[in-house]
């Protein structure tokens, strides 16, 4: 297989572009670096496409490796034929290669192995020939194999043993298995029934359930899988056996008038019932589950990307509130840089309800530190905490708003060694309050401290393969961090570890060097840090910013390799570097009038790089998140009882799933916009139209106060 040509065809990309991009990857260049600084080579492929190419490249290379392993294994048994060679060369999936290898794979002793040891292979071969006539009746021919010492007391026993051999041979034939697999997938139906206790009736909709395996939606398949693991449901794959056997007979039986017909048919039925059906069923369910998991990971990745790129609340002092009942609500005030100024514990909720005391302490913190906003975690006791804060803010003259903040993963972070190292003098709950406050200030900087799978913006993420989930989500975090850029003098080790080419060990070295030697004064100072070699420097430096550097370009996304071109560009149009301090609004117009293609050639760079340099000089130090809507801050609160069918509200999308989107409308509980209520036209995937953080207008369809459920529609 020509891997590069295959990638070119599958991704609809020019072969030369694929070849050059793969060469960059093989050269140790990271996806963010290639996407940002090698656009001329890749044709400006974005990071998502590059990661897809990298994943597919790894799969195809693994396929080639496995192909050669199987070829060598079969050749080692001296059973490699031209037909097997051709089949191996034509295989495009790992499953196809494994089917070819199946008859040659070492396995536990089977009934067929026992029959072969008794010398019945010649009889099995004779039966499979399916001659129209034989020199003698088949029972008489089988009589020649009778041997009581081999547990073959009569001809029938010999024929049974021969049929065992045939059953396994039929089961192991790649083409036969391929037919059974395709028919099972096309006509198989997944069914489920209740098998154990289901507290809360979570899976009530699946107690008497059936749906075609081929078309069952991913979220339902994942729900069935989880419930089966928990022993709540019994799941089965029902297939039309007669249809599959007829298809199998059409391949295995060559002459229905042969005396051997009934033996071959019996072997085919046994091979299917005993050997093929169970394994093919498991394989297909596993394949469909893998696909569902991949789609769930893709959806989680999209949600995570939007969450991480939530616009920061810049330049604001924030009071973080981690709600609680018995142990109280923990407060932490952080300044505009995220530094902790103060902490406290209040008890405004049950069982204490020391409301006056809680109000006095909270107001004192707001006045003392001039708090601009309150960030409230959305976990246990969040409803009562939101009511408390909303009522409190109405009583004070200070202009303070509040926001509900997802605290998913906050407890994981708070109990981690990283949090203990960052806040050794605070208990776990106070660390959570700090994290909640910082999430409102800058989601990206704070959420990178948490294992991505612990951030609750997916569906069934805890059922995914951990390694695959970590790989995919880690890639998303890496892309987001590098797209935004990182301040070299303030970034935490967690944030630095996601910068292109750096990693955990180098990130710690940077912070240790910074703590020992003080702030970095230029990008070039990074070369002095241990573990930062030439390749690492090349990969990371464009994504690191030094806001205090005397070199203007050190504050931008321009890579040092392009500094000469950037300075020539400024000089070309009569600008000094100091002129760019506040941004060059006319530079793009100047370049357009001169001719971008002509100018790029004169500067010795490509047009994509020229365009990026112009963008950076238009607004040095820009944050791509600034162009997005700011965080949703509130001053008053709605109650569930205030909602009536037909009420129109604005809200923020908090999570997107395969079956709809959850929207925060300010009533303690997110409402669900079912996929059927997103648009007046057909919607195959909610994520095609909605993303985490989107502001949307919705209408209330139904409010179920007993179940605390809100149904919404976007079809106004």
pLDDT higher at 346 or 219: 346
Q: Where are the domains of the chain?
A: 3-104, 318-474, 640-713
From its phi and psi, is residue 45 left (phi > 0), alpha (psi between -120 and 50) or beta? beta
Q: Which of 1-15, 190-204, 242-256, 401-415 has the lowest mean pLDDT?
A: 401-415
Give yes or no for residue 257 having a pLDDT over 70: yes
Whether pLDDT at 232 is above 80: yes
Query: Over the chain, what is the mean pLDDT?
Result: 92
Longest dimension (CA), the chain: 108
The class (CATH top level) of 3-104 is: mainly alpha
Q: With b meaning 16 or more CB within 10 Å and e meaning fewer, what string describes 502-531? A: beeebbebbeebbeeeeebeebebbeebee
Least confident segment among 96-100, 327-331, 467-471: 467-471
Does pLDDT of 491 surpass 90? yes
Question: Is pLDDT at 467 greater than 80 in this prediction?
Answer: yes
Average pLDDT value for residue range 131-156: 95
Reading across the β-sheet that carries 373-377, which strands appear in turn? 340-346, 329-334, 318-322, 373-377, 401-405
Give the whole-angstrom CA distance, residue 74 versus residue 76: 5
pLDDT-based confidence at 382, cuts 50/70/90?
confident
Per DSSP bridges, beta strands 373-377 and 318-322 are parallel
The CATH number of 640-713, from 1.20.210.10, 2.40.50.140, 2.60.40.1930, 2.60.40.10, is 2.40.50.140
- In this structure, how many other beta carbons lie within 10 angstroms of the beta carbon of residue 159? 24
Task: State the Cα–Cα distance between residues 123 and 143, nearest whole angstrom.
Answer: 10
**What does pTM read for this prediction?**
0.82
Length of the chain: 716
Tell me how far apart the alpha carbons of residues 213 and 273 are, in angstroms, rounded to a whole number: 19
CATH number of 318-474: 3.30.70.100, 3.30.930.10, 3.30.420.140, 3.40.1280.10?
A: 3.30.420.140
Asked if residue 661 lies in contact with residue 690, where contact means CB atoms within 8 angstroms, the answer is yes
Task: Tell me which of 450 and 143 has the higher pLDDT.
Answer: 143
Closest CA to 668 of 649, 692, 640, 646: 640
What is the pLDDT, as a whole number, of residue 476? 92
> Measuring CA to CA, how many Å separate 599 from each of 37, 105, 276, 584, 648?
18, 63, 66, 17, 53
404 pLDDT higher than 90: no
CATH topology agreement for domains 3-104 and 640-713 = no
pLDDT for 708 beyond 90: no
Confidence of residue 637 (pLDDT cuts 50, 70, 90): low
Reading the block at residue 263, the tokens are 């033996």
pLDDT of residue 458: 66
Q: What is the pLDDT of residues 62-101, one digit of tens each?
A: 999 999 999 999 999 999 999 999 999 999 999 899 999 9
pLDDT > 70? residue 297 = yes
What pLDDT, on the 0 to 100 scale, is given for residue 455? 79
Q: Given pLDDT bands bounded at 50, 70 and 90, which one contains residue 190?
A: very high
Query: Can you tell me the mean pLDDT for 222-243?
Result: 95
- If you search the block for the tokens 């939530």, which residue do you land on? 310
4 CB-contact burial (10 Å; exposed 0-12 / middle 13-18 / buried 19+)? middle
For the segment 657-684, the average pLDDT, to the nearest whole number, is: 90
**What pLDDT band is residue 707 in, cutting at 50, 70 and 90?**
confident
CA angle 668, 672, 674 (to 5 degrees): 175
Q: Give the pLDDT score at 459.
A: 67
Of 162-176, 437-451, 500-514, 629-643, which gets the smallest average pLDDT?
Answer: 629-643
For residues 353-360, average pLDDT: 96
Q: Are 498 and 30 in contact (CB under 8 A)?
A: no
In the predicted model, is pLDDT for residue 52 greater than 70? Answer: yes
Tokens found for residue 402: 């509040």
User: What are 506's two structure tokens?
Assistant: 């180098």
Residue 494: which of 555, 538, 452 has the closest Cα? 452
Residue pair 584/617 in contact by the 8 Å Cβ criterion: yes
pLDDT for 522-537, tens place per residue?
A: 999 999 999 899 999 9
Q: Per-residue pLDDT for 650 more than 90?
A: no
What is residue 326's predicted lDDT score, i.e. its pLDDT? 93
Does 158 score more than 80 pLDDT? Answer: yes
């Amino acid at each position: 297989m020509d891997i590069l040509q295959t990638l070119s065809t599958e991704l609809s990309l020019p072969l030369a572009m694929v070849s050059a991009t793969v060469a960059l990857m093989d050269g140790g260049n990271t996806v963010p670096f290639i996407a940002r600084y090698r656009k001329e080579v890749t044709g400006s492929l974005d990071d998502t496409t590059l990661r897809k190419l990298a994943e597919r490249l790894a799969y195809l290379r693994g396929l080639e490796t496995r192909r050669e392993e199987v070829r060598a294994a079969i050749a080692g048994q001296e059973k490699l034929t031209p037909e097997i060679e051709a089949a191996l060369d034509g295989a495009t999936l790992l499953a196809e290669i494994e089917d070819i290898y199946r008859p040659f794979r070492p396995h536990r002793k089977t009934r067929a192995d026992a029959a072969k040891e008794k010398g019945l292979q010649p009889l099995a071969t004779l039966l499979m020939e399916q001659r129209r006539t034989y020199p003698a009746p088949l029972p008489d021919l089988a009589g020649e194999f009778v041997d009581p010492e081999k547990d073959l007391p009569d001809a029938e026993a010999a024929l049974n043993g021969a049929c065992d051999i045939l059953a396994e041979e039929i089961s192991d034939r790649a083409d036969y298995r391929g037919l059974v697999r395709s028919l099972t997938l096309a006509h198989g139906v997944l069914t489920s029934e209740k098998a154990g206790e289901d507290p809360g009736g979570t899976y009530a909709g699946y107690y008497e359930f059936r749906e075609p395996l081929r078309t069952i939606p991913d979220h339902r398949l994942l729900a069935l899988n989880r419930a089966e693991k928990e022993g709540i449901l019994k799941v089965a794959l029902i297939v039309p056996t007669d249809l599959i056997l007829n298809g199998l007979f059409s391949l295995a039986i060559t002459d229905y008038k042969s005396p051997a017909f009934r033996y071959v048919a019996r072997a085919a039925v046994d091979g299917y019932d005993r050997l093929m059906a169970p394994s093919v069923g498991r394989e297909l369910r596993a394949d469909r589950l893998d696909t569902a998991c991949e789609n769930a990971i893709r959806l989680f990745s999209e949600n995570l990307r939007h969450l991480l790129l939530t616009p920061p609340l810049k330049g604001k002092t924030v009071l973080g509130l981690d709600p609680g009942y018995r142990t109280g609500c923990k407060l932490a005030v952080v300044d505009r840089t995220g530094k902790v100024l103060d902490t406290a514990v209040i008890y405004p909720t049950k069982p204490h309800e020391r409301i006056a005391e809680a109000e006095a302490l909270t107001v004192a913190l707001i006045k003392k530190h001039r708090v601009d906003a309150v960030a409230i975690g959305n976990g246990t006791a969040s409803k009562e905490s939101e009511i408390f804060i909303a009522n409190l803010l109405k009583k004070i003259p200070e202009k303070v708003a509040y926001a509900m903040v997802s605290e998913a993963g906050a407890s994981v972070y708070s109990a981690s060694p990283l949090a203990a190292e960052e806040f050794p003098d605070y208990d776990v709950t106070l660390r959570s309050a700090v994290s909640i406050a910082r999430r409102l200030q800058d989601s990206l900087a704070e959420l990178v401290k948490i294992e991505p799978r612990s951030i609750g913006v997916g569906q069934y993420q805890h059922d995914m393969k951990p390694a695959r989930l970590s790989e995919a989500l880690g890639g998303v975090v890496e892309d987001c961090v590098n797209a935004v850029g990182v301040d070299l003098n303030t970034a935490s080790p967690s944030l630095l570890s996601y910068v292109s080419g750096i990693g955990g060990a180098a990130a710690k070295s940077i912070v240790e060097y910074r703590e020992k030697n003080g702030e970095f004064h230029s990008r070039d100072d990074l070369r002095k840090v241990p573990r930062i070699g030439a390749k690492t420097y090349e990969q990371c430096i464009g994504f690191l910013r030094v806001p205090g550097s005397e070199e203007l370009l050190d504050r931008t996304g321009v890579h040092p390799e392009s500094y000469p071109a950037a300075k020539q560009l400024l000089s070309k149009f009569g600008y000094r570097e100091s002129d760019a301090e506040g941004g060059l609004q006319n530079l793009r117009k100047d370049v357009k009038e001169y001719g971008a293609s002509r100018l790029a050639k004169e500067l010795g760079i490509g047009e994509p790089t020229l365009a990026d340099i112009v963008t950076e000089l238009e607004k040095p130090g820009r944050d791509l998140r600034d162009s997005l809507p700011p965080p949703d801050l509130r001053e008053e609160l709605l109650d569930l009882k205030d909602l009536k069918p037909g009420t129109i509200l604005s809200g923020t999308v908090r999570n997107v799933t395969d079956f709809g989107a959850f929207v925060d409308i300010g009533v303690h509980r997110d409402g669900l916009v079912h996929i059927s209520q997103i648009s007046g036209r057909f919607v195959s995937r909610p994520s095609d139209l909605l993303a985490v953080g989107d502001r949307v207008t919705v209408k209330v369809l139904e409010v179920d106060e007993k179940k605390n459920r809100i149904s919404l529609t976007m079809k106004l």
